[in-house]
A and B are shown apart, each in its own frame.
Chain A
Amino acid sequence: MTSYGELTPVNIITGFLGSGKTTLLQRLLRSPQLSDAAVLVNEFGEVGLDHHLLQGVTESALLLENGCLCCAVRGDLQKALRDLLSRRTRGDVPHFRRVVIETSGLADPAPIAYTMLSEAVLRHHFRLSGIVTTVDAVNGRSQLAAFPEAVKQVSMADRLIVTKADLSGPDALAELRARLRALNLSAPIMESAGISGDVHHVLTDDIYDVEGKFREARHWVAEEVGESAAHDHTPGVRSFAVTFDRPLDWTAFGVWASMLLHRYGSDVLRLKGLLNVAGVPTPVLINGVQHIVHPPGHLEKWPDADRRSRLVFIVRDLQRARIERSLAVFNDLVNRPSAVAGQGEPPALALAGYGGSRQER
């Protein structure tokens, strides 16, 4: 069976209207390492793309029965990717080793990720690699203030590329960077003009790439944990890191995270973590997009001397302290005798006195 890391990686390039997605893509595709990438674009814009494997798709989402927008299958994309796969198998198109999807300026990246990770055929052939989001240095702040689509694109990114930085003043640029960092703690922020040398790393580095996974994991642990603690009571999207000194029990983590994502998946925009799992000497990497979690990755050694588990959350209206406490309680359950005896008679349900609600979480 093909392991997850061996599947064809798919990158998403997203960003608000006019933020320079196609210009960035043009530049990346000139890299020899990306010459065998197939490109799917949502709309053919003013900037022409000259690539041998270019296909247009139109946006349409099939909403599933549970009604969650992030769990919508993008029917257009499903068809385009299946078609591409079948043409590659038949030899009708050059053998591509990567797919790059350029979204429209108002697109939500979540259904694209969901389509890739859950669709019956696609999930056996493709895997989601990095999400790259372009942000216009001049208009970025006002777009983030006015458009929830822009906030979501930034929050879900694995890389943030600031474009047109030369047209913006240093103070405005610093403010934009601070806003981006508050929204997304783990994505490296680069200026498009400053990307040089091996530009393909912008797309190829991810936690399943043999060469790039170490570089990628370093970004996840680069920021100090207290970074966003001051924003803990601010409504809206924010990111924070949570650390655990004691090793995590993998079974407890899986039960906890699946329950959390069931209840709050639409509010957990990204979940990334470098975990110290009990009984496993090397770090386990966890990477989630809303309700969907990739199969875990791993590193052959720890990136630094710190052996704590570090989890980065990008959430909407959830508090760090509650998440931290909840995971700690679940992790402690495995060492309690009651967990072993758990088949006993359940206690009577207290029908009144609910301690929390959607508003008070």
Chain B
Amino acid sequence: MCALCGVLGGKGHWSDSASAPAAFAGRTKPQTRIRERQERVRLLNTVLKYHGVVAKDWSGNAYLLTSRTGRTAIVDTVAEIWPAAERLSGRICDPLDDGYLGGLASGREASTAAK
């Protein structure tokens, strides 16, 4: 628990390399948990920009999602981001959607499907 804000330790997720220290022990570059989260948040903002949702790290324990209209959601793990982003944006998160993938690949605007 954080002594200052009273936040309990967040839920672990398999995609955190801390969930399997042995698997990532031989990393050639030093990698801290905070740095990994920063990289994940940067990536999340790239894939969620088509939904009009911005992700921020919240106290190193959770993710804060904000929609364009100011609606927010706090979620514990990356797995919980997608249903929350769909609720906030009204658009589905579908990594196999051609239009969405085309936008991600080109960096240009892309369509996302309504829920």
Q: Which residues of A contact B (CB under 8 A)?
A: 3-5, 250-264, 277, 279-282, 284-285, 293-298, 318, 322-323, 325-326, 329-330, 332-334, 336, 338-340, 342-344, 346-357, 361
In contact, A318 and B96 (Cβ under 8 angstroms): yes
- Chain B residues closer than 8 Å to A3, beta-carbon distance: 21-22
Known: A260-B95, A338-B107, A356-B94. A330 touches B24 (CB 8 A): no
Chain B residues numbered 38-97 whose CB sits less than 8 Å from any CB in chain A = 39-40, 42-54, 68, 77-79, 81-83, 89, 91-97
A347: which of B22, B28, B109 is its contact (CB, 8 Å)?
Answer: B109
In the A-B complex, list the 5 residue pairs whose CB atoms are closest, starting with the nearest: A254-B15, A355-B99, A342-B45, A298-B23, A346-B49
A318 CA to B96 CA in the complex, in Å? 9
- Chain B residues closer than 8 Å to A254, beta-carbon distance: 13-16, 40, 78
B110: which of A251, A284, A350 is its contact (CB, 8 Å)?
Answer: A350
B98, closest chain A residue (CB) = A355
Known: A258-B15, A348-B109, A356-B113. A330 touches B47 (CB 8 A): yes
- Chain B residues closer than 8 Å to A329, beta-carbon distance: 101, 104-105
Q: Is the interface of A mostly helix, strand, loop or mixed?
A: mixed
In contact, B82 and A258 (Cβ under 8 angstroms): yes
Q: How far does the Cβ of B21 sit from chain A's closest Cβ, in whole Å?
A: 8
Question: Can you identify 10 A-B contacts, CB atoms within 8 angstroms?
Answer: A5-B22, A254-B13, A254-B40, A280-B26, A295-B20, A296-B23, A330-B47, A340-B42, A342-B42, A342-B43
Q: Which residues of B contact A (CB under 8 A)?
A: 13-17, 19-24, 26-29, 31, 36, 39-40, 42-54, 68, 77-79, 81-83, 89, 91-102, 104-105, 107-114
A340, closest chain B residue (CB) = B42
B48, closest chain A residue (CB) = A346
- Chain B residues closer than 8 Å to A354, beta-carbon distance: 97, 99, 111-114
In contact, A346 and B50 (Cβ under 8 angstroms): yes
- Chain A residues closer than 8 Å to B112, beta-carbon distance: 349-350, 354
B112, closest chain A residue (CB) = A349
In contact, A333 and B26 (Cβ under 8 angstroms): no
Known: A258-B82, A354-B114. A293 touches B14 (CB 8 A): yes
In contact, A356 and B99 (Cβ under 8 angstroms): yes
In contact, B82 and A263 (Cβ under 8 angstroms): yes
Max count, chain B CB within 10 A of own CB: residue among A258, A332, A334:
A258
A326 CA to B96 CA in the complex, in Å? 6
- Chain A residues closer than 8 Å to B49, beta-carbon distance: 342, 344, 346-347
Q: How far does the Cβ of A210 sit from chain B's closest Cβ, in whole Å?
A: 11
In contact, B97 and A294 (Cβ under 8 angstroms): no
In contact, B14 and A264 (Cβ under 8 angstroms): no
- Chain A residues closer than 8 Å to B89, beta-carbon distance: 349
- Chain A residues closer than 8 Å to B17, beta-carbon distance: 250
Q: How far does the Cβ of A290 sit from chain B's closest Cβ, in whole Å?
A: 13
A284, closest chain B residue (CB) = B23
Known: A262-B82, A349-B91, A355-B100. A336 touches B20 (CB 8 A): no
In contact, B43 and A262 (Cβ under 8 angstroms): no
Known: A262-B83, A343-B54, A355-B100. A297 touches B114 (CB 8 A): no
- Chain B residues closer than 8 Å to A285, beta-carbon distance: 23
In contact, B46 and A284 (Cβ under 8 angstroms): no
A251: which of B43, B81, B83 is its contact (CB, 8 Å)?
Answer: B43
In contact, B47 and A255 (Cβ under 8 angstroms): yes
Known: A251-B39, A284-B24. A323 touches B96 (CB 8 A): yes
- Chain A residues closer than 8 Å to B68, beta-carbon distance: 346
In contact, B46 and A338 (Cβ under 8 angstroms): yes
A285 CA to B39 CA in the complex, in Å? 22
A256 CA to B105 CA in the complex, in Å? 14
In contact, A255 and B43 (Cβ under 8 angstroms): yes
